[in-house]
Structure 1
Amino acid sequence: MKIEVLKEELMDVLEAVGTTVAQKSTLPVLQAVLLEAEDGKLTIYGIDGTASARGTVYVEQEKAGVTCINYVLFKDVVKSLPNNNITIETDEHSCKFSCNNATFELVTYNPQDFPKPFGQTTQTSLQVNQQEFKATVSKVLPFVAPVEGTMPALTGVNFEIEDGRMTLVGCDGYRIAVTTIKGICEDEIKTSFVLPAKYVKEIARLCSADEDELQICIPSSGNTVSFELPNVVINIQRIAGNYPNWKKIIPAEFGATVRVNKDDLYGALERASLVFDDARERKTVLNIKNNQILITAQSDTSKVEESISAKADAEFRVGFNTRYLIDVLKQIESENIALKFVKADPISPVYVKDDNFAAFVLPIKLKEEQKTTAA
C-alpha cells in the first residue's frame, strides 16, 4: 500500500472509528484497526465485540493494499504530525508514515487475523436529522444507569419506533426520562431495541450541526442496528433482555399538582446541593404548604433552607435526591412547570413534562416516615 491523505480528514475518520476499538484485550489485534486502500479510498475498520465501524476517506493512491495496526499508536502518530498531507506506505511487517521532515515506522499485524466486522441483511431504514438526533439523545443520557447491574438493559438507551415516531427512553431504576422525534418513518413501522449508551453517545457526538441526515438501518432479523453518517458507518449489537415497561410505571392520573417557576426551583436545588460532600447523601426535602415550597437540605456540617413561591392543590412533604431533580430541570425549556405527584404524601414519585420531554422520579423516604413504617 502507498497512499497520500490529508491529515485533518484522516484524523476525523480515525477518531470516529476508534469508538469501536477495544480499549483492553488479551488479543492485540482487537486493539487495532484494519486499513484497506483501494479505488482511491482508504477504508478503516474497527471492532470490539459489541460494535464495529467503517470509515472512509478519499486519498491519492499509488498502490492498493491492506494492513492492520495498533489504533492508539496510529492515532497518536497522525495527531503529532504537521497539518499537511501524510504519506502512508506499508510492507509485509511495517507501516511508514511521512509528513514534511518527520517519519514514523510502526510494526503491523497480519490483516487476516482481524475479526470480520459484523453487518446485517434486510432492513428498515429511517432518516433522522443529525442535529435533532443529537439534541434528543442528550436529553436521555443522564438518566441511563452508569454501571451494569442486575439488568443490563438499564445501561442502554431504549428505542421505540411506532406511529411514525422514534421514542428514546433512559432509566436507571430510580427515574425515567422519555423524549421523541416525530415524522421519521411510515406509521406502519413498529419495532424496539436497546443499545449500549456509550455508543449512542458517540454517534450523537459525531452528528454535525447542519441539516444532514443520519440513516438508521434496522434488520428484519439479527441483532445489529447500523447508524450511517456521510463518511462513517457504526454497527451496534443490541442489549439482550427486556426493558422495563415504562408506560405502565408512569400513571395516567395524579393526586397532587404543584406549579412553580422552573428557574426558581432549579436555583434553590443547586444551592441546596452545595451542602453535600457525598453524592449518595444528597437528599432535599420539599415542604409544600401555603402556596410555597420550603426547600431544606442538611449534612453533617451544613444546612440550607430556602422558600420559593408555588401554586399547589395539596400540602405535604416529600424528599428527593437533589441531583435527580436538577438533571430533570436541565432538560426542561418551559419557564413554568407542573410537578405532578402520584399522591400527596412523603413517598410519592413526581412526574414532570415539557413539550418533548418527560421524566418520572422516585422519592427518598424521610427519616420520620421510616420510623413510622418500622413501628
Structure 2
Amino acid sequence: MRVTLERANLLKSLNHVHRVVERRNTIPILSNVLLRADGGSLAMTATDLDLEINEAVPAHVEQGGATTVPAHLLYDIVRKLPDGSEVMLATEPDGATMTVITGRSQFKLQCLPESDFPQLAAGEFSHTFRLDSETLRRLIEATQFAISTEETRYYLNGIYLHTAERDGDIVLRAVATDGHRLARAETKAPDGAESIPGVIVPRKTVGELQKLVDDPDVSVQVELSESKIRLTIGSVVLTSKLIDGTFPDYERVIPTGNDKDMVIDRKVFTEAVDRVSTVSSERGRAVKLALAEGQLTLAVNNPDSGSATEELPAGYESDPLEIGFNARYLLDIASQLSSSDVKFSFADAGSPTLIENPDDKNALYVLMPMRV
C-alpha cells in the first residue's frame, strides 16, 4: 500500500474513528485501525466489537492495499504534524510495518494483518428513514444526560428510541432515565419511521453520534433492525449493536395530576441554584425549594460548611410547599430547556415533579424529590 493525502483530511477522519478504540485492550487487533487504499480514497475502520465506525477520505493512491496500525498512536502522530502538510503512508513488502512520511519526519509503525481485523456483521435492516442532523442532535442532547451509568440495570444504559402517538400524530421519541430523573424529547416521525421497533441505543454510541451530528445541513440516514442500528452521516458510517433488554414503561412515572404550577425565569433560577449549591455537600447536593405565593426561596444547609438562602420572584399561586432536589439534576435539566421561562408542576413533597418549557411540548422532564 502506498497512498498520499492531506494531513487535515487524515486528521479529521482519524479524530472520528480513533475514539471508538478502547485504550486498554486484551485483544491486540482491537487497538488498531484498519486502513484500506482503493481507487481515489483511503477507508478507515475501527471497532470495539459492539460499535464500528467507517469513514473514507480522498487520497492519491499509488498502490492499493490494506493493513492495520495502532489507532491512537497514528492519531497522535498525525495530530503533531505541521498544518498544511501532505502525509504518505506506505507499507513494507512483508506487511510487518507501515511508514508515515511527511517533510523530514518519518515514523515506522508495527502492523497487524488485515485478515485479523473483525467485521461487525450488519445483517438485514428492516427499517430505514432520514432525519436532519439538527433534529437528531436535539433529541440526543435533550435526553443523553439522564442515561444511567449503573451497569446492573443495563437496559437503562442508553436512549430508548421509538414511535408513539400524540394528538393524532405519530412522533419519534427519545427517552432516557436513571431512576432519579427522566428525560423525554420528540419530533414528528419522518417517513419510514412510523412502524420502527422500540430500540435502546447504547451510551457509547450516543456519545459518538453526538460528536458527529455537528453540521446542521447534513441529512442522517438511520437503518434499524431488531439488534443493530446503522447511521450514515456524510462520509461516516456508524454501526452499533443495540442493548438487548426491555426498557421500562416510563409513561407510568410521568405525573398527570400535578396541580401546583410554578413559572420562573430560567436564567435567574439556574444562576441562583448554582450559587446556593456552592455550600452543599458533594455527596448529597440537596437544595430545598420553599414556595409561597409569588415567591420561591432556595435554601441549602450543610452542617460541615454552612448554609445559604436566596429569594426569587416566581409565578406561583397554590398552597405553600417545601420540596428538595439534587441541585446538579436541577441544573442539568434547566440547561436543556430553550425558553426564557421554565415551568414546574408539583404534587407534594414526596412525589415526582414535572419540568418543561411553557410553550414547547416536544420535551419534558421528570425529577424525583430528595428528603431535606
2:90 maps to a residue whose letter is: E
SS in 1 for 2:333: helix
Instruction: Write the deviation string for residues 225-284 of structure 1: whole angstroms up to 9, x where unpaired.
Output: 011111110111111211121112112222322232223322221111111241x22111
1:123 and 2:126 aligned: yes
Q: Which residue of 1 aligns with 2:344?
A: 339
**Quick check: 1:47–1:53 contact (8 Å CA) kept in 2?**
yes
SS in 2 for 1:151: helix
Report the CA distance shift for 1:164/1:351 in structure 2 as closer, same or farther (over 3 A). same
SS in 1 for 2:325: strand
What is the 5 A alignment of 1:69-218? 69-82=69-82, 83-91=84-92, 92-145=95-148, 147-162=149-164, 164-186=170-192, 188-218=194-224
1:34 and 1:362 mapped to 2: Cα distance? 46
- Superposition deviation, residue 152 in structure 1: 0.8
**Quick check: 2:17–2:54 contact (8 Å CA) kept in 1?**
yes
Q: Which residue of 1 aligns with 2:8?
A: 8
2:367 and 2:194 mapped to 1: Cα distance? 32
1:217 maps to a residue whose letter is: E
Match 1:281 to one of 284, 290, 296: 284
- Superposition deviation, residue 54 in structure 1: 1.1
SS in 1 for 2:77: helix
**Quick check: 2:46–2:52 contact (8 Å CA) kept in 1?**
yes
1:240 maps to a residue whose letter is: D
**Quick check: 1:164–1:186 contact (8 Å CA) kept in 2?**
no
Q: Which residue of 1 aligns with 2:250?
A: 246
1:346 and 1:122 mapped to 2: Cα distance? 47
Match 1:266 to one of 265, 270, 292: 270
**Quick check: 1:170–1:177 contact (8 Å CA) kept in 2?**
yes
SS in 2 for 1:74: helix
1:41 and 1:333 mapped to 2: Cα distance? 41
- Superposition deviation, residue 93 in structure 1: 0.7
Could you list the runs of 4 or more consecutive aligned residues of structure 1 that deviate by over 4 angstroms after TM superposition?
Answer: none
- Superposition deviation, residue 104 in structure 1: 1.0
**Quick check: 1:17–1:232 contact (8 Å CA) kept in 2?**
no
- Superposition deviation, residue 3 in structure 1: 0.9
Report the CA distance shift for 1:301/1:257 in structure 2 as closer, same or farther (over 3 A). same
Report the CA distance shift for 1:330/1:226 in structure 2 as closer, same or farther (over 3 A). same
2:112 maps to a residue whose letter is: Y
- Superposition deviation, residue 164 in structure 1: 4.6
Q: Which residue of 1 aligns with 2:33?
A: 33
Q: Which residue of 2 aligns with 1:357?
A: 363
SS in 2 for 1:240: coil
Q: Which moved more, 1:130-139 or 1:48-57?
A: 130-139
1:327 and 1:204 mapped to 2: Cα distance? 17
- Superposition deviation, residue 348 in structure 1: 2.3
1:117 and 1:353 mapped to 2: Cα distance? 40
Instruction: Write the deviation string for residues 291-348 of structure 1: whole angstroms up to 9, x where unpaired.
Output: 321211011212111111222312121111111111111122222332111x2x3212
Q: Which moved more, 1:12-21 or 1:232-241?
A: 12-21
2:23 and 2:157 mapped to 1: Cα distance? 19
Aligned length: 360
1:177 maps to a residue whose letter is: A
Instruction: Write the deviation string for residues 177-206 of structure 1: whole angstroms up to 9, x where unpaired.
Output: 111122422474232111112221221211
**Quick check: 1:224–1:235 contact (8 Å CA) kept in 2?**
yes
2:157 maps to a residue whose letter is: T
**Quick check: 1:318–1:348 contact (8 Å CA) kept in 2?**
no
1:364 maps to a residue whose letter is: M
- Superposition deviation, residue 116 in structure 1: 1.8
SS in 1 for 2:252: helix
Report the CA distance shift for 1:168/1:114 in structure 2 as closer, same or farther (over 3 A). same
2:151 and 2:202 mapped to 1: Cα distance? 13
**What stretches of structure 1 of length at least 5 have no aligned partner?**
367-375
Match 1:312 to one of 311, 317, 326: 317
Q: TM-score normalised to the size of structure 2?
A: 0.92
Q: Which residue of 2 aligns with 1:370?
A: none
